[in-house]
């Protein structure tokens, strides 16, 4: 997914359901000057999304009740 984000930043946003941001990124990518910021933006957004998913998983795990055995 990171390779897609670097080569086709707009496609990375489209695949994650962020259509409006994908169009903005596509417009940036049409210019060679805007391609590098668009690629950096797509990679940073992908990494941020993965981190948010990890945090949600940890929060769900922390909310589960913990039962201890008495020995």
Residues 2-48: pLDDT tens digits? 788 888 888 988 998 989 999 998 888 888 788 888 889 899 999 99
Domain count, the chain: 1
* pLDDT (0 to 100) of residue 3: 85
Say how far apart CA 17 and CA 38 lie, in whole Å.
17
**70 domain residue, yes or no:** no
**23 domain residue, yes or no:** yes
**69 domain residue, yes or no:** no
| Per-position DSSP letters for 16-71, written without gaps between them | TT-HHHHHHHHHHHHSHHHHHHHHHHHHHHHHHHHHHHHHHHHHHHHHS-------
**71 domain residue, yes or no:** no
Say how far apart CA 10 and CA 35 lie, in whole Å.
10
Q: CB burial class (10 A; 0-12, 13-18, 19+) of residue 26?
A: middle
* pLDDT (0 to 100) of residue 71: 64
* pLDDT (0 to 100) of residue 56: 94
Residue range(s) defining the domain that contains residue 43? 2-63
**55 domain residue, yes or no:** yes
Residue 66 has pLDDT above 80, yes or no: no
Which residue has 């962020």 as its token pair? Answer: 18
């Amino acid at each position: 997914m990171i390779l897609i984000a670097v080569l086709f930043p707009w496609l990375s946003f489209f695949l994650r359901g962020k259509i409006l941001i994908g169009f903005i990124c596509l417009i940036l990518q049409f210019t060679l000057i805007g391609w590098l910021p668009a690629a950096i933006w797509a990679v940073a957004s992908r990494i941020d999304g993965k981190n948010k998913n990890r945090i949600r998983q940890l929060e769900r795990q922390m909310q589960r009740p913990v039962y201890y055995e008495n020995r």
